[in-house]
Amino acid sequence: MSKSKQVVIEKKKTGRANKSEDDKEKQGVVEVFIMGKSYRVPAGLTIMKALEYAGYRFIRGCGCRAGFCGACSTVYRIEDEQKLGFDLACQKLVEDKMYLVQLPFVPAAKAVYDINKLEPSDSVLLTYYPEIARCVSCNTCTKSCPQDIEVMKYIQSAIRGDIAKCAEISFDCIQCGLCAMRCPADIKHYHVAQLARRIRGKYLDPKSKNLAKRLKEIEERKFDEEIEKLMKMDKKEIMELYRNRKIEAEESVIAGGD
């Protein structure tokens, strides 16, 4: 994150503001602190938009802006509150007296493996991520998750060797790393869960005939011409095409055998 020079930033006056917090809310303005500096920003902005409003430009830590990519995990504290807040900057709205800091990175040590050579045994997750055995069941990971995933539960499934369950519970993980940031046992939950989903997809779930067929078609470059055509279309033409697209009948998907 680097600071833009063009934007003028209103500095906080010394001490607490005279107006009550209610008055400020009515004016639609909240005061946030970015790396110690005070900024007044419109209420209702997300943290990400407030940072930009204050003159910062994102170089990294910003992806989809829609709560899916997990790039924007953020830590904050509200003045006079003991608890730290953890959330996605593109989703969480600013609050008055919110202190935001820049974190160097989310812990991301990842085991190295070749998925084609793995044994999908009960102990495989423990072998690659032995630290999961250190879980003390504090449930902090679950409380940190912006996706409301039962993170501790999927770690417990991993410890028991229930790969399918671990994959299922973690399915909506966006890999933001907020759980790993707070875990007292240094577990990298999202990497454990990703391995579980990979193993489940490769070894445990029934194979999809439709997927195999489509992959073969792609390898045979069946869609190259169509893609070329799409690339040359303007937005209006693409929208028209999308609106008039044929939707595959449900029966044909079922008939495909998946």
Q: Which residues form the interface with ligand FES (CB under 6 A)?
A: 62-65, 67-72, 88, 90
184 binds, among ligand SF4, ligand FES, none (CB under 5 to 8 A by kind): ligand SF4
Which 3 state secondary structure label does DSSP give 176?
Answer: coil
Residue whose structure tokens are 């934007």: 7
Q: Which of 42, 184, 201, 256 binds ligand SF4 (CB under 6 A)?
A: 184
- Stretch 123-162 residues interacting with ligand SF4 (CB under 6 A): 135-141, 144-145, 147, 149, 151-152, 155
What Cα–Cα distance (Å) separates residue 123 from each residue in 119, 163, 208, 220, 258? Answer: 9, 9, 26, 39, 29
- 176 is an interface residue for ligand SF4 by CB under 6 A: yes
Q: Determine contact, residues 116/90, Cβ cutoff 8 Å.
A: no
Nearer to ligand SF4 by Cβ, of 51 and 158: the residue is 158
Burial of 189 (0-12, 13-18, 19+ CB in 10 A): buried
CA quadruple 86, 88, 89, 91: dihedral, nearest 10: -120
Nearer to ligand SF4 by Cβ, of 111 and 211: the residue is 111
71 binds, among ligand SF4, ligand FES, none (CB under 5 to 8 A by kind): ligand FES
CA 185 to chain centre: 21
Nearer to ligand FES by Cβ, of 69 and 164: the residue is 69
Q: Name the site residues for ligand SF4 (rule: CB under 6 A).
A: 70, 135-141, 144-145, 147, 149, 151-152, 155, 173-179, 183-185, 187, 189-190
